[in-house]
């Protein structure tokens, strides 16, 4: 029956393992492989890419999972299937800093209220591919460039220029600094130009250190190694804001990003609503 094969497909897709699906369901591995192959033949499309090391969903497999997982899980619950096939997974990616400071704590609040949901989170600044990397939901800082994706704004992240207090005192940087003087200072950079509110960019002339992790940039600034552009809520203690003439760093927005509103699973929609400030 096509329903049984779809139910089997959701278990394999959630575990990304044919052998784990076989163990969970108590059936031979060979039967799992045969039935998935028959389902692929019936649908006329490849659902999984298999290598000796890993199993991952194809784009078509990802779309099928988005379409059928919620109704399959609902029917499994009615039929009294095993609990471990009913637990819903949400695969998430988020920038490391956001995962530690804003996104992560809110996800844990959601997990406490929704024990039937399991998170699999990858923290990276790299833009992962939803289908190739099997991602349900991405948390990304704007501005966003991929118009094929759906994005919901969650909250704003204001930025500012800053430096260590000793760095500022030794160079007499109290008060407003001209843009040319500011750009001549040793800079702590994440490998990209500094974007301003009007969309213009500033490119420091002397990059003392190029560091992709904002926590490391913060530590470097605290050690008076250069000027930086950081989220405003990270600038405290030994760090001090710098006022640069006619140069206001852009306020960036955090978005929940996903491939298609029509195929959005109910559990992911519920999470996005939870993450949206009231």
- Strand 228-231: give its sheet, edge to edge: 176-177, 239-244, 159-164, 228-231
145 CB-contact burial (10 Å; exposed 0-12 / middle 13-18 / buried 19+): exposed
Query: Do residues 148 and 262 share a domain?
Result: yes
Show which of 41, 69, 86 is a domain's final residue.
86
Q: Which CATH number is 39's domain given? A: 1.10.10.10
Residues 11 and 39 in one domain: yes
Do 3 and 64 lie in a common domain? Answer: yes
Residues 126 and 260 grouped into a single domain: yes
Residue 86: the pLDDT is 52
Tell me, yes or no, whether 175 and 245 share the same domain: yes
Domain boundary among 60, 86, 112: 86
Query: Does pTM surpass 0.75?
Result: no
Q: Give the whole-angstrom CA distance, residue 256 versus residue 153.
A: 7
Q: Pick the last residue of a domain from 32, 59, 86.
A: 86
Per-residue pLDDT reduced to its tens digit, 188-222: 998 888 999 988 999 999 999 999 888 999 999 99
Per-residue pLDDT, 81? 46
What tens digit of pLDDT does each residue of 4-44 get?
788 888 888 878 888 888 888 788 888 888 888 888 888 88
Q: What is the CATH number of the domain that holds 193?
A: 3.40.190.290
Share of the chain above pLDDT 90, in %: 45
Number of structural domains the chain divides into: 3
Task: Tell me the three-class secondary structure of 30-58, residue by residue.
Answer: HHHHHHHHHHHHHHCCCCEEECCCCEEEC
Same domain, 190 and 142: no
Find where tokens 């029917």 sit: 75
* Same-domain status, 15 and 79: yes
Confidence of residue 179 (pLDDT cuts 50, 70, 90): very high
pLDDT confidence band for 129 (50 / 70 / 90): confident
Mean pLDDT of the chain: 87
Mean pLDDT of all residues in 173-198: 91
131 and 51 within one domain? no
CATH number of 114's domain: 3.40.190.10
Q: Are residues 190 and 235 in the same domain?
A: yes
CA gap 55, 2 in Å, rounded? 22
Q: Which residue has the higher pLDDT, 161 or 34?
A: 161
Residues 187, 168 within the same domain: yes
Boundaries of domain holding 205: 159-250
Q: Are residues 138 and 70 in the same domain?
A: no
Same domain, 3 and 68: yes
């Amino acid at each position: 029956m096509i329903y049984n094969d779809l139910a089997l497909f959701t278990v394999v897709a959630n575990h990304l393992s044919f052998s784990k699906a076989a163990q969970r369901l108590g059936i031979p591995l060979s039967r799992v492989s045969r039935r998935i192959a028959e389902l692929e033949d019936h649908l006329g499309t490849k659902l999984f890419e298999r290598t000796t090391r890993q199993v991952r969903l194809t784009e078509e497999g990802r779309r099928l999972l988005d379409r059928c997982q919620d109704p399959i899980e609902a029917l499994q619950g009615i039929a009294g299937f095993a609990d471990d096939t009913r637990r819903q997974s949400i695969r998430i990616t988020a920038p490391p800093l956001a995962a530690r400071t804003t996104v992560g704590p809110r996800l844990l609040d959601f997990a406490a209220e929704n024990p039937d949901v399991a998170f699999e989170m990858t923290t990276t600044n790299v833009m992962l591919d939803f289908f190739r990397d099997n991602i349900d939901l991405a948390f990304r800082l704007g501005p966003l460039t991929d118009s094929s994706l759906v994005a919901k704004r969650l909250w704003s992240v204001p930025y500012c220029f800053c430096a260590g207090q000793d760095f500022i005192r030794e160079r007499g940087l109290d008060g407003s600094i001209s843009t040319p003087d500011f750009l001549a200072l040793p800079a702590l950079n994440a490998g990209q130009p500094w974007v301003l509110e009007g969309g213009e960019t500033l490119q420091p002339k002397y990059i003392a250190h190029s560091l992709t992790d904002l926590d490391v940039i913060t530590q470097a600034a605290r050690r008076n190694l250069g000027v930086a552009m950081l989220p405003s809520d990270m600038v405290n203690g030994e760090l001090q804001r710098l006022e640069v003439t006619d140069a206001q760093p852009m306020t960036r927005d955090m978005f929940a990003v996903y491939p298609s509103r029509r195929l959005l699973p109910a559990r992911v929609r519920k999470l996005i609503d939870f993450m949206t400030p009231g």
